[in-house]
């Protein structure tokens, strides 16, 4: 199998050659300083994945891992063309949007007795059955339903043929290495190969593959099969929210030309130069924030290597973006319709 470029090396290469996006080293340092007191809080740690998010599984078992695999296989493209016309899902008297609408629809299906997280079900699930599971509580359907159907059938068949029907088997084969699990995912599940060509070089982001490893670590609470001795080797997950919050926090900057295109709502294609620069610089910017955070703790004589990593920084920034939607409304997010993020 041809090699898989490292997302961190790709990010450094992109940041070094980027024209319309720049990482602000001073800004990154300031963000690290602003996070310093928060980083040692309990909810910043892996336990926050469950305690802060009611839709995430409470258990740490095979079914919970299968929930994570299903959700991360479909964890892409929730943005809507018009902000006021959105796909929404009502679950237990609460309305959910974006990524959470996906989780709400999955939990609604499970409550209805549909075994949506079981590979033997979603390997042969029909488009009509999927349309029912992801039915909207507004006039706006879930984006990319056909693509979701294709990647679900494809992933279900692989799970059945190669991993006895459960992603937990794949996790066990990784022998507690996040990088090994990442490569098992990339080798076996084509829809996770989130790559591009930039300045004639193959680069990678692997957003869904890396968040699948991270969410597996989180749902298993970093213990047992969920313990990875190299979890800190993962990067943040280059979606369309992290770049927005990094620009809002002044750790990253867009050129006037790019800002104009984003404000006009330009829809970019997967692999466009602007998209690659936004995603690559986001990963590199967060690597710098992590580095600065570690240095701040070292100065205080605290070893936080097990406590601060790109995964926890990512979760924090993503939740921050969710909670500060109004403050960030002047920073447009980049629009690409794809199955990668």
Ligand X SMILES: Nc1nc2c(c(CN[C@H]3C=C[C@H](O)[C@@H]3O)cn2[C@@H]2O[C@H](COP(=O)(O)O)[C@@H](O)[C@H]2O)c(=O)[nH]1
Residue placing its CB nearer to ligand X in the complex, 44 or 240: 240
- Residue 229 in tokens: 């001795």
Nearer Cβ to ligand X, position 75 or 174? 75
Residue 248 binds ligand X, judged by CB under 6 A: no
- DSSP assignment of 36-47 equals HHHHTSGGGSTT
- Residue number of the CB atom closest to ligand X: 98
Give SS3 for 132.
helix
Catalytic residues: 239
Q: How far is the CB of 174 from ligand X (least distance, A)?
A: 19
With 0-12 / 13-18 / 19 or more C-beta atoms within 10 angstroms meaning exposed / middle / buried, residue 16 is: exposed
Answer yes or no whether residue 318 interacts with ligand X by CB under 6 A: yes
Kindly write out the interface string for residues 201-220 of this chain, putting x where it contacts ligand X by CB under 6 A and - elsewhere.
----------x---x-----
Q: Which stretch binds ligand X (CB under 6 A): 9-17, 18-26, 178-186, 238-246?
A: 238-246
Is 96 a binder of ligand X (CB under 6 A)? no
Rounded to a whole number of angstroms, the minimum distance from the CB of residue 246 to ligand X is 11
Q: H/E element holding 95? A: strand 94-97
Alpha-helical segments (H) within the chain: 7-17, 25-39, 48-51, 62-73, 98-111, 119-122, 127-133, 145-162, 167-173, 178-188, 207-219, 242-248, 256-263, 273-299, 310-323
Is 192 among the residues that bind ligand X (CB under 6 A)?
A: no
SS3 97: strand
Using the rule CB under 6 A, is 279 a contact of ligand X?
Answer: no
User: Taking CB under 6 A as the rule, does residue 242 contact ligand X?
Assistant: yes
CB of 238 to ligand X, least distance (A): 7
Rg (CA), the chain: 19
E strand or H helix at 336: strand 335-336
- Give residues in contact with ligand X (CB under 6 A): 49, 53, 56, 75-76, 78-79, 98-99, 211, 215, 236-237, 239-242, 314-315, 318, 322, 341
């Amino acid at each position: 199998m041809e090699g898989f470029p490292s997302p961190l090396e790709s990010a450094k290469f992109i940041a070094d050659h980027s024209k319309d996006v720049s990482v602000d080293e001073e800004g990154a340092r300031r963000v690290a300083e602003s996070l310093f007191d928060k980083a040692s809080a309990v909810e910043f740690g892996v336990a926050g994945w469950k305690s802060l998010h009611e839709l995430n599984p409470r258990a740490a078992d095979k079914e919970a891992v299968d929930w994570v695999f299903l959700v991360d296989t479909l964890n892409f493209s929730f943005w809507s063309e018009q902000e006021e016309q959105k796909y929404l899902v009502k679950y237990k008297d609460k309305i959910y949007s974006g990524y959470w609408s996906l989780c709400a629809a999955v939990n609604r299906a499970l409550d209805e007795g549909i075994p949506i997280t079981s590979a033997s079900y979603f390997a042969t699930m029909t488009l009509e059955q999927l349309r029912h599971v992801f039915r909207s509580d507004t006039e706006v359907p879930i984006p990319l339903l056909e693509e979701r159907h294709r990647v679900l059938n494809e992933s279900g068949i692989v799970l059945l043929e190669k991993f006895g029907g459960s992603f937990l088997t794949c996790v066990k084969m990784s022998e507690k290495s996040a990088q090994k699990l990442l490569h098992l995912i990339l080798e076996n599940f084509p829809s996770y190969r989130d790559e591009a060509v930039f300045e004639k070089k193959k680069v990678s982001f692997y957003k869904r593959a890396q968040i699948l490893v991270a969410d597996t670590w989180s749902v298993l609470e970093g213990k047992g099969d969920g313990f990875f001795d190299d979890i800190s080797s993962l990067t943040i997950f280059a979606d369309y929210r992290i770049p927005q919050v990094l620009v809002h926090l002044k750790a990253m900057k867009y050129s006037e030309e790019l800002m104009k295109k984003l404000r006009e709502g330009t829809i970019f294609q997967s692999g466009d130069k602007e998209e690659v620069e936004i995603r690559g610089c986001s990963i590199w910017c967060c690597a710098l924030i992590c580095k600065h955070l570690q240095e701040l703790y070292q100065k205080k004589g605290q070893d936080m290597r097990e406590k601060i990593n790109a995964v926890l920084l990512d979760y924090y920034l993503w939740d921050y973006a969710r909670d500060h939607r109004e403050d960030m409304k002047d920073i447009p997010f980049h629009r690409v319709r794809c199955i990668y993020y």
